[in-house]
Amino acid sequence: MKSIEQLMDLSGRKALLTGGGGYIGLAAAESLIELGAKVAIVDKDVDTCERRVAELNLYRADSALSLPCDLLNELATRAMVQNAVKQMNGLDILIHCAAYVGTTEVPGWAVPFEQQTVAAWDAAMRVNLTAAFVLAQEARGLLAASKRGSIIFFSSIYGVVGPDMSLYEGTEMITPTGYGASKGALLQLTRYLASLFAPAVRVNAISPGGVWRGQPQNFRERYEARTPLNRMAVEEDMKGAVAYLASDLSAYVTGHNLIVDGGWTAW
């Protein structure tokens, strides 16, 4: 019987991580690298990718590589997957963390409902949801060939429940309609692919709760009062979830949505 240490060991495994330039992307990348994996960092901005790779390579030399890519571009996304596999000589883990979120600065996105545009909605769906489909389609055979393939999609509690609008009163914060819609659809894609890709590839999701990023005090106080663990999440809270679903610790887990929300959705 394998030990816990053996089950969580990712030495020699290769991972592709979209949204690697973001806060949660950093936590995910650190988890993978700390457990021995090599990680291809995908983000739209070239400089962001390169800075993140330089930072991660301080943990372990040659543990990360930069693959800038605009996930709105299907052909570029497919080519990026093949490029990652070529550079790393295989693929074992795919994590889709890139997303339009509430702070994404796109016209017609994080604005009052009446001002939200179809163009912004469509772009968000392309990045949050369609890119996940494209990535999974392109990577399926590669992950199956590894014999231990794992896909992790980052969803959200707003893909599970509706937003509590009272949290946002008196702030300039907005949760765009397309955010929850895309994250809910991503969970259904998770279940569908888990069924389709089994038994060769496992497919799971992580749904974080609200993450502390300097939000207004009144929002934070309301959020914490609404949460059983009485605090907002921090990026470090996602590390264990990534380590679990990426490794053999979860070898018998697929089609699962691991909610990391301090109990927000428990009541």
Query: Which pLDDT tens digit goes with each residue over 215-242?
Result: 999 999 999 999 999 999 999 999 999 9
Residues 186 and 127: beta-carbon distance below 8 Å:
no
**pTM score above 0.85:** yes
What digits encode the pLDDT tens for the residues 115-155? 999 999 999 999 999 999 999 999 999 999 999 999 999 99
Please state, in angstroms and as integers, the Cα–Cα distance from residue 57 to each residue in 23, 42, 84, following that order.
Answer: 17, 15, 17
Helix (H, G, I), strand (E, B) or coil at 119: helix
Q: Tell me how far apart the alpha carbons of residues 45 and 171 are, in angstroms, rounded to a whole number.
A: 29
141, two tokens: 């055979």
Residues 83 and 139: beta-carbon distance below 8 Å:
no
